[in-house]
Chains A and B, each alone.
Chain A
Amino acid sequence: MTNKTSRRNFLKMGAASASVLPFLRAMPAAAQGSDTLVVVTGTTINSLDLHRSGTSRASYQVGINCYDRLLSFGTKQTPDGGYSYDYQVIEPELAESWTESEDGLTLTFRLKPNAKFWDGRKVTAADVKWSFDRAVSVGGFPTVQMKAGGLERPEQFIAVDDETFVIKLDRASKLTIPDLAVPVPYIMNSVEALANATEDDPWATEYLHNTPAGSGAYKVARWTPGEQLVYERNDEWVGGPLPALRRVVIREVPSPATRRALVERGDVQVAFDIPDKDAAELADTLDVFSTPVENCIHCLNPNFAFEPFQDSNVRKAIAYAIPYEDIFQAAAYGRGLPMWGGEEEINDIAWPRKTQYFTDLDKARELMAASAYPDGFDVPLSISLDLASWMEPTALLVQEALGQIGINVTIEKIPGANWRTAVLVEKRLPLHLENFGGWLNTPDYYFFWAYQDGHLFNSSNYRNEEIEELTNATLHMPMDDPEYAPKIKRMFEIVLDELPRIPLYQPALNVAMNGAVGYEFWFHRQLDVRPIKTV
């Protein structure tokens, strides 16, 4: 047989081994299940290379399923009986073991000696170095994410010998190790990539965009952007337990109604990221996992650049006027976690935490009367059309409630393409809805992005000197440091009193399954197909 994968060869290969996916209906229907999984999703995979600029969020799953990182996170059970990754447990993936120097500035990794790329070549420390160099050099998102773990320059990465890789840090940080387990720092086959690099494109972005070159659990068998992606298992994988499924088909179906019909009928086994409404309705008949997204909160943000919102009484009045329960039911259909009606006293450092606010219109009116704006004012509430499914009902309920305390709200709908510019870059929206979620699950990391002055998700133009100082102090501090908890508690106290972001609820990622088990929630909100099995 020739090496060229023509359609006929592919079919022949299929016919040769009975366990391969039956490609024609003529094959017995019973053979269809067991080792093939079909997933539907509403989003488009537009690149097989996460490091490329313009790569969509949905494409990150290729980085997860097809590539290995040095490290990965462990698994834990969630309260609803599903599984989630475990931020507290770091497990090896390509690394066999690792050590940290006394001062925490040198990390030494031993690679698994038997790890091989798909083309059969051994994974060496030089590949790791090349991949890390690439992530910190290509610019854009990967470079920003690497920086979060203190990984900024190629000189920091040293390939000592084939199986020893060293990272030199400028300062010790608790974020470095977890940042090595996020999707970004994955290991590519540098020999294959370099053979396809050009002078203009030294990092082979064009080649890797279409052709992954990794050592991960799955290879990409077929990819048609806008239609489907087919994973095929790499039987030589050493990064973890061999996945049960030989083949996984990711099919793009834009209409949520169609996705729902498909999974209800059982023609597909997984509907990934379904709307809250479908999740609530399907929960009785199918296995629906609604995992609250870690370190992510849907918020109503009063912008400090807008004068009335500089008045603390106004912000508190809004926090007491919001109909939290109604919003949670209308926008989220009760999927996720409430973020209101908690204790005012802060005894733990769990984040997101419930605020001390709850719906109390009388209190809200009192606070308005005590403010500099007893007669209220007019303000536009901005929402993104791309996120209308939760923002629109929320905005309507907020509009109605604020109308009762004299704040006249008009709803401004902003097209998706404009949204990021207006809300995050220019930070010019007086009152808006926002939903930042941090990948690294520590409160300080959330504060770094959402509460520090000038940072991207601080769309309220909030600045508090104490928060600046405390966030800088806690960001790299180990969580078991005795100073850590008191500082974090103080940070909670300040922002929940000053309210530059008014937390509404913690959203959930919904996944419906019919005929498959083993789904695991990940902070990156993409499907890790490796642990999934059909039943």
Chain B
Amino acid sequence: MLATSPRLRATVLRVAQAIPVVVGVVIISFLLTRALPGDPAVYFAGVAADTESIEQTRVAMGLDKPLLQQFFIYVGDLSRGDLGQSLSSGRSVAEDLAKRLPASLELTLSALLLAIAIAVPLGVLAATRPGTWVDHLCRVIVTAGVSLPTFFTGILLIYIFYYLLGVAPSPLGRLDFIYLDPDHVTGFYLIDAALMGDWETWRGAVRQLILPASTLALFTLAPIARMTRAAMLTALSSDFIRTARAAGLSSRTILYRYAFRNALLPVMTTLGMVFSFALGANVLVEKVFAWPGIGSYAVEALVVSDYAAVQGFVLSMALLFVALNLVIDLLYAAIDPRIGFSSK
């Protein structure tokens, strides 16, 4: 079967290529967390701990063992799917990630969709009418978007829409406390609530999502809009468009069927990059909106040298990016058949 389907074969190959990356990430994340300054045993022994109780905590955490032995214990646990126990949240890391990763992804993806919905048409319009008010508007929005830090935009939006106008719900995380979490299926509240048919909760979740997603969208808008504009300009000035025009094709066909499709490749690449830095930029948005996401989790874990949680976070991010790159590669081939997998 592998021999008959080149695409499947290529996909399997790509996944296989990711294995050394993941192994490397496991080793590096282990070593880096150990290289962090700070002694978790002292931290977790509590406020009034003496030398003896610090030592007891160290033994309980397994940190008294030699580094190599700690590593093998970690890898052994990992092979059983056990990511360890987070000390700062007091739960297993796998459980924490399962709860928090969907929260971050839901926020990032909705922000990204919102950004695409605004930025791509804006970029296309700006490219087709360079120098007009649309182009200038695009430039102003883009500049404002990148130059405002997300925590600032977040607080500003809360101030205007929640504090002054009172139209936004309390910025209290994914759901106001009067709702109950939907049953866990995917961890995405919008999907889970829809699956249950609980539209009241669904609306509640959307209302909570609007402000943080807008904050993040404003920030991610810029690269997408700029890249769309630039790619469209390049495509529109290329030979095949001139030929198409000369052949008398309608401008709609030229614009969407030929120019836009060709311009999509760089936009796709940008989207991949934007997605990864949006996950990073999440941290500040999560803090401001009390969003229980993975960014704030990782930062808190890092601050207290919570080894298991940091390693789990790095590993899950690595896997996520491996998957993301794969998806983007596959999308390339879908958009532009000339980019075959056979060439690799």
Interface residues of B (CB under 8 A from A): 36-40, 42-54, 56-57, 60-61, 87-91, 96, 99-100, 151, 155, 158-159, 162-163, 166, 170-174, 177-183, 200, 204, 286-290, 292, 296-297, 300, 303-305
Contact = CB atoms under 8 A, between A and B. Distances in A.
Given A257-B288, A416-B304, A421-B38, A456 B171 contact: no
Interface stretch (A126-134, A222-230, A298-306, A490-498): A222-230
B290 A417 contact: no
A175 interface: no
B46 A53 contact: yes
B45 A253 contact: no
A143 B53 contact: yes
B155 A257 contact: yes
Contacts of B179: 23-24
Contact of A226 (B54, B56, B100, B204): B100
Contacts of A23: 178-180
A29 to B, nearest CB: 11
Interface residues of A, number: 60
A208 B326 CA distance: 44
Contacts of B287: 254-255
Contact of B50 (A38, A144, A209): A144
B57 to A, nearest CB: 5
B303 A415 contact: yes
A258 B290 contact: yes
Given A226-B100, A251-B290, A255-B290, 12 more contacts: A10-B180, A11-B180, A21-B178, A55-B46, A140-B57, A226-B89, A253-B171, A265-B170, A416-B38, A421-B39, A421-B42, A424-B42
Interface stretch (A44-52, A63-71, A504-512): A44-52
A54 B204 CA distance: 35
B48 A449 contact: yes
Contacts of A224: 99, 181, 292
Contact of A144 (B49, B90, B172): B49
Interface in A407-427: 415-418, 420-421, 424-425
Contacts of A22: 178
Contacts of A226: 89, 96, 100, 292, 296-297
A479 B157 CA distance: 56
7 contacts: A25-B200, A38-B177, A46-B88, A53-B46, A54-B87, A417-B304, A456-B49
B204 to A, nearest CB: 8
A417 B91 CA distance: 20
Interface string A227-262: 110100000000000000000010111110110011
A412 to B, nearest CB: 13
A44 B46 CA distance: 15
Contacts of A449: 48
Contacts of B99: 224
Given A38-B177, A257-B288, A262-B171, A56 B88 contact: yes
Most chain B beta carbons < 10 A, residue from A209, A255, A262: A255
A420 B42 contact: yes
A88 to B, nearest CB: 23
Contacts of B50: 144, 456
Given A227-B292, A264-B163, A425-B39, A140 B177 contact: no
Nearest to B178: A23
